[in-house]
A and B are shown apart, each in its own frame.
Chain A
Amino acid sequence: EAGVAQSPRYKIIEKRQSVAFWCNPISGHATLYWYQQILGQGPKLLIQFQNNGVVDDSQLPKDRFSAERLKGVDSTLKIQPAKLEDSAVYLCASSLEHLLEQYFGPGTRLTVT
Protein backbone atom coordinates (compact mmCIF):
# COMPACT_ATOMS: atom_id res chain seq x y z
CA GLU A 1 0.00 0.00 0.00
CA ALA A 2 1.45 3.36 -1.01
CA GLY A 3 1.87 5.85 1.82
CA VAL A 4 1.02 9.52 2.04
CA ALA A 5 2.89 11.47 -0.64
CA GLN A 6 3.99 15.08 -0.25
CA SER A 7 5.83 17.52 -2.46
CA PRO A 8 8.08 19.33 -2.54
CA ARG A 9 10.28 17.87 0.19
CA TYR A 10 12.16 21.12 0.69
CA LYS A 11 11.42 24.74 -0.12
CA ILE A 12 13.33 27.94 0.55
CA ILE A 13 11.60 31.27 -0.03
CA GLU A 14 11.99 34.86 1.01
CA LYS A 15 9.53 36.49 3.37
CA ARG A 16 6.45 37.95 1.69
CA GLN A 17 6.65 35.36 -1.09
CA SER A 18 4.01 32.68 -1.68
CA VAL A 19 4.38 28.92 -1.46
CA ALA A 20 2.17 25.89 -1.98
CA PHE A 21 2.44 22.34 -0.74
CA TRP A 22 0.75 19.27 -2.17
CA CYS A 23 -0.46 16.10 -0.47
CA ASN A 24 -1.83 12.83 -1.83
CA PRO A 25 -3.30 10.70 0.99
CA ILE A 26 -3.48 6.94 1.18
CA SER A 27 -6.09 5.63 -1.24
CA GLY A 28 -9.51 5.36 0.37
CA HIS A 29 -8.69 7.57 3.36
CA ALA A 30 -11.53 10.01 3.84
CA THR A 31 -9.85 12.18 6.46
CA LEU A 32 -6.88 14.39 5.66
CA TYR A 33 -4.90 16.58 8.06
CA TRP A 34 -2.29 19.31 7.69
CA TYR A 35 0.10 19.88 10.59
CA GLN A 36 2.81 22.42 11.25
CA GLN A 37 5.86 21.19 13.16
CA ILE A 38 8.27 23.83 14.38
CA LEU A 39 11.76 22.62 15.25
CA GLY A 40 11.84 21.03 18.68
CA GLN A 41 8.07 20.82 19.04
CA GLY A 42 5.36 18.31 18.32
CA PRO A 43 3.08 18.72 15.30
CA LYS A 44 0.22 21.22 15.59
CA LEU A 45 -2.98 20.66 13.64
CA LEU A 46 -3.73 23.38 11.11
CA ILE A 47 -6.74 21.98 9.29
CA GLN A 48 -8.72 18.77 8.95
CA PHE A 49 -10.80 17.66 5.97
CA GLN A 50 -13.45 14.97 5.90
CA ASN A 51 -13.71 14.11 2.20
CA ASN A 52 -13.75 17.57 0.61
CA GLY A 53 -15.29 19.42 3.56
CA VAL A 54 -13.45 21.30 6.31
CA VAL A 55 -14.04 19.82 9.76
CA ASP A 56 -11.71 22.03 11.78
CA ASP A 57 -9.57 24.98 10.76
CA SER A 58 -9.56 26.75 14.12
CA GLN A 59 -5.76 26.90 14.30
CA LEU A 60 -5.20 27.91 10.68
CA PRO A 61 -3.95 31.53 10.36
CA LYS A 62 -6.55 32.40 7.78
CA ASP A 63 -5.09 35.79 6.94
CA ARG A 64 -2.21 34.05 5.19
CA PHE A 65 -2.87 30.31 5.07
CA SER A 66 -5.41 28.54 2.90
CA ALA A 67 -6.07 24.91 2.08
CA GLU A 68 -8.37 23.02 -0.21
CA ARG A 69 -9.31 19.46 -1.07
CA LEU A 70 -11.54 19.95 -4.06
CA LYS A 71 -12.24 16.37 -5.15
CA GLY A 72 -11.89 14.77 -1.75
CA VAL A 73 -8.51 13.24 -2.58
CA ASP A 74 -5.46 15.47 -3.09
CA SER A 75 -4.98 18.59 -1.04
CA THR A 76 -2.95 21.77 -1.29
CA LEU A 77 -1.83 24.11 1.49
CA LYS A 78 -0.84 27.65 0.56
CA ILE A 79 0.91 30.41 2.43
CA GLN A 80 0.65 33.94 1.09
CA PRO A 81 2.57 35.98 2.11
CA ALA A 82 5.08 33.96 4.11
CA LYS A 83 6.64 35.20 7.35
CA LEU A 84 9.89 34.17 9.01
CA GLU A 85 7.95 32.35 11.73
CA ASP A 86 6.36 30.08 9.12
CA SER A 87 9.65 28.20 8.85
CA ALA A 88 8.71 24.66 9.85
CA VAL A 89 7.98 21.20 8.53
CA TYR A 90 4.49 20.89 7.10
CA LEU A 91 3.13 17.39 7.55
CA CYS A 92 0.17 15.85 5.82
CA ALA A 93 -1.59 12.86 7.36
CA SER A 94 -4.59 10.76 6.46
CA SER A 95 -6.81 8.25 8.21
CA LEU A 96 -9.53 5.88 7.13
CA GLU A 97 -11.95 7.44 9.57
CA HIS A 98 -11.42 10.41 11.84
CA LEU A 99 -11.07 8.38 15.04
CA LEU A 100 -8.52 5.92 13.73
CA GLU A 101 -4.76 6.16 13.60
CA GLN A 102 -3.27 8.77 11.32
CA TYR A 103 -0.59 7.98 8.77
CA PHE A 104 1.90 10.71 7.99
CA GLY A 105 3.75 11.74 4.87
CA PRO A 106 7.47 12.67 4.88
CA GLY A 107 6.71 16.38 5.22
CA THR A 108 7.81 19.54 3.44
CA ARG A 109 10.57 21.48 5.15
CA LEU A 110 9.97 25.20 4.57
CA THR A 111 12.64 27.79 5.24
CA VAL A 112 11.64 31.46 5.05
CA THR A 113 14.57 33.87 4.83
Chain B
Amino acid sequence: SQELEQSPQSLIVQEGKNLTINCTSSKTLYGLYWYKQKYGEGLIFLMMLQKGGEEKSHEKITAKLDEKKQQSSLHITASQPSHAGIYLCGARMDSSYKLIFGSGTRLLVRP
Protein backbone atom coordinates (compact mmCIF):
# COMPACT_ATOMS: atom_id res chain seq x y z
CA SER B 1 0.00 0.00 0.00
CA GLN B 2 1.34 3.45 -0.83
CA GLU B 3 -0.16 4.75 2.41
CA LEU B 4 2.33 2.67 4.33
CA GLU B 5 5.90 2.29 3.10
CA GLN B 6 8.20 -0.43 4.36
CA SER B 7 11.94 -0.47 3.91
CA PRO B 8 13.98 -2.23 2.91
CA GLN B 9 11.98 -4.50 0.62
CA SER B 10 14.40 -7.31 1.27
CA LEU B 11 17.31 -7.93 3.58
CA ILE B 12 19.99 -10.61 3.80
CA VAL B 13 22.09 -10.66 6.96
CA GLN B 14 24.64 -12.97 8.51
CA GLU B 15 23.55 -14.84 11.60
CA GLY B 16 24.36 -12.86 14.72
CA LYS B 17 24.02 -9.44 13.08
CA ASN B 18 21.52 -6.80 14.14
CA LEU B 19 19.00 -5.37 11.72
CA THR B 20 16.26 -2.77 11.50
CA ILE B 21 13.09 -2.65 9.40
CA ASN B 22 11.15 0.58 8.99
CA CYS B 23 7.51 1.39 8.41
CA THR B 24 6.54 4.95 7.46
CA SER B 25 3.25 6.75 6.98
CA SER B 26 2.46 10.26 5.80
CA LYS B 27 -0.44 10.35 8.26
CA THR B 28 -0.58 10.09 12.03
CA LEU B 29 -1.33 6.52 12.95
CA TYR B 30 -3.95 5.39 15.43
CA GLY B 31 -2.22 2.07 15.94
CA LEU B 32 0.68 0.11 14.48
CA TYR B 33 0.90 -3.68 14.35
CA TRP B 34 3.86 -5.85 13.43
CA TYR B 35 3.36 -9.32 11.97
CA LYS B 36 5.67 -12.04 10.70
CA GLN B 37 4.73 -14.33 7.83
CA LYS B 38 6.48 -17.45 6.62
CA TYR B 39 6.00 -18.58 3.04
CA GLY B 40 2.70 -20.38 2.61
CA GLU B 41 1.52 -19.55 6.11
CA GLY B 42 -0.61 -16.99 7.84
CA LEU B 43 0.53 -13.94 9.75
CA ILE B 44 1.86 -14.26 13.28
CA PHE B 45 1.14 -11.31 15.56
CA LEU B 46 4.31 -9.82 17.08
CA MET B 47 3.50 -6.50 18.72
CA MET B 48 1.02 -3.63 18.84
CA LEU B 49 2.00 0.01 19.44
CA GLN B 50 -0.46 2.79 20.07
CA LYS B 51 1.22 5.64 21.93
CA GLY B 52 3.80 8.07 20.60
CA GLY B 53 7.26 7.07 21.81
CA GLU B 54 6.06 3.62 22.81
CA GLU B 55 8.55 0.76 22.73
CA LYS B 56 7.93 -2.95 23.21
CA SER B 57 10.25 -5.93 23.26
CA HIS B 58 9.77 -9.65 22.98
CA GLU B 59 12.82 -11.90 23.13
CA LYS B 60 15.27 -10.35 20.64
CA ILE B 61 12.75 -8.19 18.79
CA THR B 62 12.07 -4.55 19.72
CA ALA B 63 9.48 -2.33 18.10
CA LYS B 64 9.20 1.43 18.49
CA LEU B 65 6.69 4.06 17.44
CA ASP B 66 7.99 7.60 17.07
CA GLU B 67 6.57 10.56 18.96
CA LYS B 68 4.67 11.81 15.92
CA LYS B 69 3.16 8.33 15.43
CA GLN B 70 4.13 8.29 11.76
CA GLN B 71 7.07 5.93 11.78
CA SER B 72 7.80 2.61 13.41
CA SER B 73 10.91 0.50 13.46
CA LEU B 74 11.42 -3.18 14.19
CA HIS B 75 14.85 -4.10 15.45
CA ILE B 76 16.21 -7.64 15.73
CA THR B 77 19.28 -8.20 17.86
CA ALA B 78 21.68 -11.06 17.17
CA SER B 79 19.62 -12.47 14.32
CA GLN B 80 19.06 -16.21 13.91
CA PRO B 81 17.90 -18.30 10.94
CA SER B 82 14.56 -18.69 12.75
CA HIS B 83 13.99 -14.96 12.29
CA ALA B 84 13.77 -15.41 8.53
CA GLY B 85 10.44 -14.57 6.94
CA ILE B 86 8.37 -11.64 5.77
CA TYR B 87 7.77 -8.85 8.25
CA LEU B 88 4.63 -6.84 7.70
CA CYS B 89 3.50 -3.66 9.38
CA GLY B 90 -0.20 -2.94 9.55
CA ALA B 91 -1.67 0.36 10.66
CA ARG B 92 -4.95 1.91 11.64
CA MET B 93 -5.10 5.19 9.75
CA ASP B 94 -8.16 6.51 11.52
CA SER B 95 -10.40 5.78 14.47
CA SER B 96 -11.98 2.82 12.68
CA TYR B 97 -10.89 -0.77 12.93
CA LYS B 98 -9.47 -1.14 9.39
CA LEU B 99 -5.85 -2.25 9.04
CA ILE B 100 -3.77 -1.12 6.07
CA PHE B 101 -0.69 -3.25 5.45
CA GLY B 102 2.67 -2.42 3.98
CA SER B 103 4.16 -4.63 1.26
CA GLY B 104 6.47 -6.41 3.65
CA THR B 105 10.20 -6.84 4.19
CA ARG B 106 11.68 -10.20 3.23
CA LEU B 107 14.40 -11.23 5.66
CA LEU B 108 16.92 -13.99 5.07
CA VAL B 109 19.43 -14.87 7.78
CA ARG B 110 22.46 -16.81 6.58
CA PRO B 111 23.89 -19.35 9.05
Interface flags for A72-113 (1: CB within 8 Å of B; 0: not) read 000000000000000000010100001101111111010000
Segment of B12-20, B69-77, B98-106 in the binding face: B98-106
| B45-A103 in contact (CB<8A) | yes
Interface flags for B79-102 (1: CB within 8 Å of A; 0: not) read 000000000101010001111011
| B103-A42 in contact (CB<8A) | yes
| A42-B97 in contact (CB<8A) | no
| A101-B33 in contact (CB<8A) | yes
CA of A109 to CA of B37, assembled, Å: 14
CA of A105 to CA of B45, assembled, Å: 11
**Size band of the interface chain A makes with B:** 20 to 34
| A44-B97 in contact (CB<8A) | no
- Contact among B45, B92, B96, B102 for A42, CB-based, below 8 A: B102
State how many residues of chain B have any CB contact under 8 Å with chain A: 23
Q: Which of A98, A99, A106, A107 has the most CB of B within 10 A?
A: A99
Residues of B within 8 A of A93 (CB): 42-43
| A107-B99 in contact (CB<8A) | no
CA of A1 to CA of B4, assembled, Å: 32
CA of A48 to CA of B1, assembled, Å: 19
Residues of B within 8 A of A106 (CB): 40-42
What's the A-B contact tally at a CB cutoff of 8 Å? 57
Q: A31-B97, A56-B98, A101-B33 are in contact. Are A42 and B1 (CB under 8 A)?
A: yes
Chain B interface helix/strand/loop/mixed: strand
Q: Which of B4, B98, B102 has the most CB of A within 10 A?
A: B98
| A102-B103 in contact (CB<8A) | no
Q: Can you give 17 A-B contacts (C-beta < 8 A)?
A: A40-B104, A43-B43, A43-B90, A44-B1, A44-B101, A45-B98, A45-B99, A48-B98, A91-B42, A99-B31, A101-B45, A101-B48, A102-B99, A104-B35, A104-B43, A105-B42, A107-B41
Nearest first, the 4 closest Cβ-Cβ pairs linking A and B are A42-B101, A104-B42, A98-B97, A104-B43
